[in-house]
Amino acid sequence: MSLSRLAHSVASLVIALMPNVAQSTGMTSFGRPKRSDEIRERLLKGFQRGDYAPGDPLPSERELMHLYGVGRPAIREALQSLQRIHHGRRARVAAPSVARMVDQVGESMKLFLANSPASLEQLKEARLVFEMEMARIAARKHSASDIVRLRRLLQAQDEAQNNLERFVACDGDFHREIAAISGNPIFAALSEALFKWLAATYRGAVSVPGLEKLTLNEHAQIIDAIAAGTPEAAAKTMADHLNRANELYRIANYRAAS
Q: How far apart are the first and last CA of the chain?
A: 38
- The rounded radius of gyration (Å) of the Cα atoms in the chain is 21
Neighbours of 247 (CB within 10 A): 10
Angstrom distance (rounded) from CA 227 to CA 221: 10
Dihedral of CA 166/145/98/186: which sign?
Answer: negative
DSSP assignment of 82-107, as one string? -SSEE-SSS-EEPPP-HHHHHHHHHH
CB 214 within 8 A of CB 248: no
Q: Is residue 124 part of a domain?
A: yes
Instruction: From 96, 114, 144, give the residue that closes a domain.
Output: 96
Task: Tell which residue, 9, 2, 18, has the closest CA to residue 108.
Answer: 18
**Domain count across the chain:** 2
Q: Is residue 189 part of a domain?
A: yes
Tell me the sheet residues that pair with 93. 85
Q: How many residues does the chain have?
A: 258
Cα→Cα distances 33→56, 82, 216, 231, Å: 28, 16, 50, 49
Query: What per-residue confidence (pLDDT) applies to 33?
Result: 63
251 touches 244 (CB < 8 A): no
Q: Return the CATH number at 43.
A: 1.10.10.10
What is the H or E stretch that residue 236 is in?
Answer: helix 231-257
- Residue 10 located in a structural domain: no
- Confidence at residue 146, expressed as pLDDT on a 0 to 100 scale: 98
What integer pLDDT is reported at residue 47 of this predicted model?
A: 76
Residues 151 and 199 in one domain: yes
* 174-231 per-position pLDDT tens digit: 999 999 999 998 899 889 888 888 777 655 555 666 678 889 999 999 999 999 999 9
pLDDT at 17 (0 to 100): 44
- 7 domain residue, yes or no: no
59 and 141 together in one domain: no
Residue 5 lies in a domain: no
Alpha helix (H) ranges present in 53-184?
A: 61-68, 72-81, 98-114, 117-141, 144-159, 164-180
Of the candidates 93, 72, 75, the one whose C-alpha atom is nearest the C-alpha of residue 84 is 93
Spell out, as residue ranges, where the chain has pLDDT lower than 70: 1-33, 81-117, 201-210, 248-258
Which pLDDT score is estimated for 182? 96
- Nearest alpha carbon to residue 98 among 17, 34, 10, 223: 10
Domain that holds residue 166: 106-257
Same domain, 119 and 64: no
CA atoms lying within 13 Å on the CB side of residue 176: 18
Question: Do 112 and 90 belong together in one domain?
Answer: no
What own/partner pairs with CB < 8 Å and gap ≥ 24 does 145-148 have? Answer: 146/177, 146/181, 146/226, 147/223, 147/226, 147/227
Rounded to whole angstroms, the Cα distance separating 26 from 22 reads 7
